[in-house]
Amino acid sequence: MKLVDESGRFPEAVETWPSVLITREEIAREVERLADAPAPANGRRTASIVHPLAQAPGLGLAPGIDVHIDVLKPGESVRVSRSNSTAVGTCIRGYGAARIGPSGFGIEMHDVWNVPSMHPVFYENSGSDLLVRLTFSNRPMLEKLMVFYGEEADDARISDAWFKAVADNVPEGPRAKDNAPIVAICGGAFLMPYEHLVDPDTVENRALHWPWSVVEPQLKAVRGIGEGYTGRRLYILYNPATERRNGTTHSFFASIAAYPGDVVDRPHRHSSAAINYWFGGSGRSTVSGEKLHWKAGDLMLSAPGWAVHNHASGSEGFHALTIQDHPLMIAAESLIWQETMKDQIRNLGTQIGFQTNISELV
Q: Assess if residue 192 is contained within a domain.
A: no
Q: How far apart are CA 354 and CA 269, in angstroms?
A: 13
Q: Assess if residue 134 is contained within a domain.
A: yes
Q: Assess if residue 201 is contained within a domain.
A: no
Q: Assess if residue 164 is contained within a domain.
A: no
Domain count, the chain: 1
pLDDT at position 159 is 63
Find out whether 231 and 265 touch, Cβ atoms under 8 Å.
Answer: no
pLDDT at position 167 is 58
Residue range(s) defining the domain that contains residue 292: 21-154+206-360
Q: Assess if residue 13 is contained within a domain.
A: no
pLDDT at position 22 is 98
pLDDT at position 15 is 83
Task: Supply angle C-alpha 236, 241, 247, rounded to 5.
Answer: 30
Q: Which residues contact 287 (CB under 8 A, 6 or more apart)?
A: 18, 19, 302, 303, 304, 307, 308, 309
The per-residue pLDDT for range 150-197, each reduced to its tens digit, is 999 876 455 666 666 665 666 778 899 999 999 999 999 999 999 999
The per-residue pLDDT for range 266-316, each reduced to its tens digit, is 999 999 999 999 999 999 999 999 999 999 999 999 999 999 999 999 999
pLDDT at position 165 is 64
Q: Assess if residue 199 is contained within a domain.
A: no
pLDDT at position 154 is 77
Q: How far apart are CA 103 and CA 344, in angstroms?
A: 43
Q: Assess if residue 6 is contained within a domain.
A: no
pLDDT at position 162 is 64
pLDDT at position 14 is 76
Find out whether 175 and 75 touch, Cβ atoms under 8 Å.
Answer: no
Q: What CATH number does residue 347 fall under?
A: 2.60.120.10
Q: What stretches in the chain show pLDDT beneath 50? A: 156
Q: How far apart are CA 298 and CA 301, in angstroms?
A: 10
Q: Assess if residue 235 is contained within a domain.
A: yes
